[in-house]
Amino acid sequence: MATKTTEKKAAAPKKADTKAAAKPAAAKKSTATKAEGGTKPNALQQPLTPSADLAAIVGDKPLPRGEVVSKVWEHIKKHNLQNPENKREIVADDKLKKIFGKDKCSMFEMNKHLAAHLKG
């Protein structure tokens, strides 16, 4: 009798494995068709024009929001503008003061300030 229960237990995972294997394949097909047939970029990929103050850091050409944030972080790291005691805090230099409107800003509220300087 022990062999019969062992066979049943062994058979159950095989069924689950076939179902699990079928789902990711279907998901891959649907994402592939969405990527190929994408007609317009999402909000993070849409090029936005920076204000004059922000253009001093990232350039004056339209850029997607993600690239703007990356370039601002490059500027912060290049000029060592993170508070050494609290890395989440950014100590603004002259260029960033124009964008943030204050001397210090947390990295979480930085995007709020950047959004005010980007136009679609």
Higher pLDDT: 20 or 119? It is 119
Helix (H) or strand (E) holding 104: strand 104-106
User: Is 0.75 topped by the overall pTM?
Assistant: no
Give residue 30's pLDDT: 47
Write the single-letter amino acid at 87: K
Residues ≥6 apart with Cβ < 8 Å to 45? 64, 66
Rounded percentage of the chain residues whose pLDDT exceeds 90: 62
Indicate if the pLDDT at residue 28 is higher than 70. no
